[in-house]
Amino acid sequence: MIGKLADFFRRAEPAFLDARPGDAAALAALHRISFRHGWSESEFERLLADRAAIAHVARANGGRGAVVGFVLSHRVENEAEIFLVALAPGERGHGTATKLLSKHLSRLAAAGVSRVFLEVDEGNAQARKLYARAGFSQVGRRAGYYRNPEGNAAALVLGRDLAG
Ligand X SMILES: CC(C)(COP(=O)(O)OP(=O)(O)OC[C@H]1O[C@@H](n2cnc3c(N)ncnc32)[C@H](O)[C@@H]1OP(=O)(O)O)[C@@H](O)C(=O)NCCC(=O)NCCS
Binding residues vs ligand X (CB under 6 A): 34, 84-87, 92-98, 120, 124, 126-127, 129-130
Q: Closer to ligand X by CB, 52 or 112: give it.
A: 52
Would you say 126 or 137 has its CB closer to ligand X? 126
Instruction: Give the Cα separation of 41 and 95 in Å (integer).
Output: 27
Report in angstroms how near the CB of residue 154 gets to ligand X at its nearest: 14
Rounded to whole angstroms, the Cα distance separating 27 from 15 reads 16
> Is the separation of the CB atoms in 122 and 114 below 8 Å?
no
Q: Which of 98, 32, 24, 89 is nearest to 55 (CA)?
A: 24
Query: Which residue number places its CB atom closest to ligand X?
Result: 95
Q: Which residue lies nearer to ligand X by CB, 38 or 112?
A: 38
Helix or strand (DSSP H, E) at 107: helix 96-110
Judge whether 71 and 104 are in contact, CB under 8 Å.
yes
The DSSP symbol for 124 reads -
Give the shortest CB-111-to-ligand X separation in angstroms: 21
Residue closer to ligand X by CB (options 20, 129) is: 129
**Smallest distance, ligand X to C-beta of residue 161, A:** 20
Minimum separation from the CB atom of position 126 to ligand X (A): 4
